[in-house]
């Protein structure tokens, strides 16, 4: 028989409830410094975002924190590229297609009949002045043709016996205005060979709530020189290469129509389109539905009333969608069959495919049990039960943290004692969070009733007949002992060396192999009325010594949950 108080305690834990702590006087000293981080986490506080000062002209860009803006819970497609990586690398390497510009530095070496070694700057007319040769116009000469071009100019004066070597020492430094819908508009320094991604990233990237990724214009003299669609770069790697000049302006246009996509897709983002109307086909070309997707639900948000359409994918590709619509791609399939695994003492196959709605009894009829199978102790492990056990345990651990971190002290000495106690308990919480429940279903007499419906992924374990009783926990020598028909729980504990602490108020749990259990009070451990069977496990749970009754209750409840769901005795 289960104790009503214990069942009530487990029921509260299952609901994630904790008994509130009575208000106590405020502490005499300051809060415990070592626990401020846990307190902040429990209170839901987060580190505030640091403000971004407007960069000065020519300043090195600081990478943007990865706090990507979300729209309706989804990131805007394209915002992921502006994380400071482009601004951290200026393109100053050899670019054969680069055209020499005003302000570029050219290294020139002449040897033989005439010698010269120096660096020249391309003047405002696009010339460099070669000694004894005169001005040579190098403006717009390709980088890979610069040496031969200068050598031809020198050869017109020195026909023989003069060697020429000319190379671009450094591309022209430029300052570019970056404005429009970027996070931090301003004047940014770079090189003429840098791409617009460098300057956009230096400006913090496109503002995902207001800026367009489809239209980034480069203005020179007030006229649009180039217009760039960043989706071409994101999807196919295509980015037009052109040289920027001092004083050029990069302008990010306002955002155009957007559609959000959720669900069974590879790219769950908010996508931008050049027009206010597009088709599902165009959206899916970006979102890329998963193979298991079957339907799309379209939420129309641009009208006075929200309207919903639910369409099979095969019929949806030519359906029009509008700016502001939300598409949710779903896998809408009827469950036909399920796969269940059988382990342990049997001589038949291990994987079974059953009709949806099959029961445990129907499965066992198809399993050929081994000679040593313990039929009355069949075990069922289920993923959904494992998840629920984890949720219950986490809820109780959070309740324990709250109890610890909200406890008050009257004196500085008491506060110091509470701090040491709290640190130990929080270490216990950290260890408990790492323990994975087993997800075992309590069967008891359910096998006889043949009414346990199986779920996909269930694991049925047929245990081997055991003649042992296991003793865990706060005993001197945790061990496995041969089963004796007339032995009591105390006899097995004594064989394990006895309690490590006084057994007067120990919490003892008797767990049967089929998942059922009994809580045994310390006064009944010597009673033969408590029925043991071969294969049982005796869990001697640790005692709890704490100044707070509430904290003690929370810890005891966690002890029971860990023992039942994971088969683990975790000491404080």
> Mind listing the pLDDT tens digit for each residue in 155-164?
888 888 888 8
Q: Reduce the DSSP state of residue 497 to 3 states and report it.
A: coil
Determine if residue 58 is left, alpha or beta; phi over 0 gives left, psi from -120 to 50 gives alpha, anything else beta: left
The answer to whether 4-19+387-566 and 82-91+173-254 have equal CATH topology is yes
Question: What number is the average pLDDT over the span 398-414?
Answer: 78
Q: Is the dihedral of CA 98, 103, 104, 110 positive or negative?
A: positive
Could you give the CA distance from residue 408 to residue 31 in angstroms, rounded to a whole number? Answer: 9
Whether residue 334 contacts residue 357, with contact meaning beta carbons closer than 8 Å, is answered with: no
Q: What is the dihedral of CA 295, 231, 267, 310, to 10 degrees?
A: -20
Q: Which CATH number does the domain 4-19+387-566 belong to among 1.10.510.10, 3.10.560.10, 2.60.40.10, 1.10.10.60?
A: 3.10.560.10
Neighbour tally for 322: CB within 10 Å:
17
pLDDT tens-place string over residues 194-203: 888 999 999 9
As to burial, measured by CB atoms within 10 angstroms (0-12 exposed, 13-18 middle, 19+ buried), residue 271 is buried
pLDDT tens-place string over residues 272-294: 999 888 999 999 999 999 999 99
pLDDT tens-place string over residues 435-447: 899 999 888 765 5
Whether residue 123 contacts residue 105, with contact meaning beta carbons closer than 8 Å, is answered with: no
As to burial, measured by CB atoms within 10 angstroms (0-12 exposed, 13-18 middle, 19+ buried), residue 139 is middle
Could you give the CA distance from residue 256 to residue 275 in angstroms, rounded to a whole number? Answer: 7
Homologous superfamily (CATH) of 105-170 is: wza like domain (3.30.1950.10)
**Can you name the residues that pair with 211 across neighbouring β-strands?**
254
Cα–Cα nearest to 252, from 272, 270, 282 = 272
Cα–Cα nearest to 444, from 511, 527, 540, 521 = 511
**Can you name the residues that pair with 186 across neighbouring β-strands?**
178
Percent of the chain with pLDDT over 70: 81
Whether residue 154 contacts residue 133, with contact meaning beta carbons closer than 8 Å, is answered with: yes
End-to-end CA distance of the chain: 28
**Can you name the residues that pair with 245 across neighbouring β-strands?**
none
Class of 82-91+173-254 in CATH:
alpha beta
- What is the pLDDT at residue 63? 42
Examine the pLDDT at 328 and tell me if it is beyond 80: yes
More confident position, 461 or 10? 461
Whether residue 150 contacts residue 108, with contact meaning beta carbons closer than 8 Å, is answered with: yes
Neighbour tally for 469: CB within 10 Å:
25
Name the pLDDT band for 112 (thresholds 50, 70, 90): confident
pTM of the model: 0.52
Give the DSSP H or E segment for 338.
strand 337-344
Could you give the CA distance from residue 432 to residue 557 in angstroms, rounded to a whole number? Answer: 12
pLDDT tens-place string over residues 82-96: 888 887 776 655 566
Q: Reduce the DSSP state of residue 287 to 3 states and report it.
A: helix
Cα–Cα nearest to 571, from 549, 546, 548, 540 = 540
Domain boundaries in the chain? Answer: 4-19+387-566, 82-91+173-254, 105-170, 257-330
């Amino acid at each position: 028989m289960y104790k009503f108080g214990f069942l009530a305690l487990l029921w509260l834990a299952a609901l994630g409830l904790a008994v509130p702590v009575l208000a106590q006087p405020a502490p005499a000293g300051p809060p415990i410094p070592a626990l401020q981080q846990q307190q902040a986490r429990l209170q839901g506080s987060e580190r505030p975002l640091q403000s971004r000062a407007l960069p000065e002209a020519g300043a090195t860009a600081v990478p943007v924190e990865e706090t990507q803006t979300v729209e309706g819970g989804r990131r805007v497609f394209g915002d992921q590229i502006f994380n400071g990586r482009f601004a951290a690398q200026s393109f100053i390497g050899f670019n054969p297609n680069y055209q020499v510009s005003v302000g570029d530095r050219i290294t020139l070496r002449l040897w033989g009949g005439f010698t010269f070694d120096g660096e020249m700057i391309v003047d405002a007319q696009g010339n460099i002045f070669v000694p004894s040769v005169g001005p040579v116009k190098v403006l717009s000469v390709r980088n890979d043709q610069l040496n031969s071009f200068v050598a031809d100019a020198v050869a017109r004066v020195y026909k023989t016996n003069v060697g020429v070597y000319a190379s671009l020492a450094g591309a022209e430094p430029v300052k570019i205005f970056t404005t429009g819908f970027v996070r931090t508009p301003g004047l940014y320094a770079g090189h003429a060979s840098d791409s617009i991604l460098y300057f956009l990233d230096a400006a913090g990237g496109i503002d995902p709530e207001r800026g367009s990724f489809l239209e980034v214009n480069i203005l020179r003299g007030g006229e649009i020189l180039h217009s760039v669609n960043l989706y071409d770069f994101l999807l196919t790697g295509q980015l037009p290469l052109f040289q920027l000049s001092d004083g050029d302006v990069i302008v990010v246009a306002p955002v155009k129509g957007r559609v959000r996509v959720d669900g069974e897709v590879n790219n769950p983002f908010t996508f931008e389109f050049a027009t206010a109307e597009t088709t599902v086909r165009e959206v899916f070309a970006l979102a890329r539905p998963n193979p298991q997707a079957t339907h799309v639900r379209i939420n129309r948000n641009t009208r006075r009333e929200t309207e919903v359409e639910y369409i099979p994918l095969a019929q949806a590709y030519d359906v029009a969608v509008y700016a502001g619509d939300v598409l949710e791609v779903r896998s809408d399939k009827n469950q036909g069959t399920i796969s269940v695994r059988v382990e342990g003492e049997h001589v038949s196959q291990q994987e079974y495919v059953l009709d949806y709605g099959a029961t445990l009894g129907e499965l066992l009829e198809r399993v050929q049990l081994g000679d040593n199978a313990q039929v009355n102790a069949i075990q069922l492990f289920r993923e959904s039960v494992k998840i629920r056990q984890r949720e219950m345990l986490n809820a109780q651990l959070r309740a324990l943290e709250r109890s610890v971190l909200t406890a008050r002290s009257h004196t500085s000495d008491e506060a110091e004692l509470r701090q040491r106690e709290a640190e130990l308990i929080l270490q216990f919480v950290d260890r408990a969070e790492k323990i994975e429940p087993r997800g075992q279903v309590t069967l008891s007499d359910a096998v006889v009733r043949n009414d346990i419906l199986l779920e996909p992924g269930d694991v049925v374990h047929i245990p081997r007949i055991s003649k042992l009783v296991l003793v865990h926990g706060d005993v001197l020598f945790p061990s496995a002992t041969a089963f004796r028909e007339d032995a009591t729980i105390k006899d097995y504990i004594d064989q394990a060396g006895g309690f490590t602490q006084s057994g007067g108020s120990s919490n003892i749990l008797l767990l049967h192999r089929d998942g059922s259990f009994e809580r045994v009070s310390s006064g009944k451990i010597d009673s033969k009325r408590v029925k043991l069977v071969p294969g049982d496990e005796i869990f001697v749970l640790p005692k709890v010594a704490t100044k707070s009754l509430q904290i003690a209750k929370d810890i005891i409840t966690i002890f029971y949950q860990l023992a039942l769901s994971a088969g683990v005795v975790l000491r404080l």
